[in-house]
Amino acid sequence: MNILVINGPNLGLLGKREPLVYGTKSLDDISKKLVDIAKAINDKIKITTEEIKLSFFQSDIEGEIVKKIGEAWTKDSIDGILINPGAYTHTSIAIHDAIQASNLPTVEVHLSHIYSRENFRHTSIISSVCVGQICGFGENSYFLGLQGLLNFCKNT
């Protein structure tokens, strides 16, 4: 099972950018722990009989994210997407449309609780084309999102 993990704008600054909001872990730290969790699932939990493989992509550029989603379903053999679209959550019809066109199960994750922040963050344009959304649990949002995505893929 191949899962694409996509991170949007400013997430490359994790660990340095507003640590009280986004935590002190870098994107690399979170990615490494996601790999460890996938390995543990492979070895012990056995959500799927297939090996879980993660690939990672981060971009501050909306068009690159849209292109990567398009490649995921037209060229790559991706089974699902775990995405933190960052600020594009609230503005990107293009990412929404790319996810919808891909027909890949997608889980939206956020480190912070977007619904307890500024009003403009309360609307996710992406969520309506995702199978689920997890926010507010810091780096654990990614780990919970991965487990939810794998369970969804297993049961469909």
Query: What pLDDT score was predicted for residue 59?
Result: 97
pLDDT of the chain, 156 residues: tens digit per residue:
999 999 999 888 777 777 777 777 889 999 999 999 988 887 765 655 568 999 999 999 999 999 999 999 887 789 999 999 999 999 999 999 999 999 999 999 998 888 878 787 888 999 999 999 999 999 999 999 999 999 999 887
Sketch out the chain's domains with CATH numbers: 2-154 (3.40.50.9100)
CB contact at 8 A, 63 and 94: yes
pTM: 0.91
Edge-to-edge strands, sheet with 80-84:
53-58, 2-7, 80-84, 106-110, 132-135
Query: What pLDDT score was predicted for residue 72?
Result: 93
Which one of the listed residues 22, 88, 96, 142 is annotated catalytic?
A: 22
Beta bridge partners, 81, equal 4, 106
Which one of the listed residues 88, 96, 110, 142 is annotated catalytic?
A: 110
Among this protein's residues, is 96 annotated catalytic? no
CB contact at 8 A, 20 and 117: no
What the block records as the tokens of 149 is 């995505």
Beta bridge partners, 132, equal 107
CB contact at 8 A, 80 and 103: no
Among this protein's residues, is 142 annotated catalytic? no
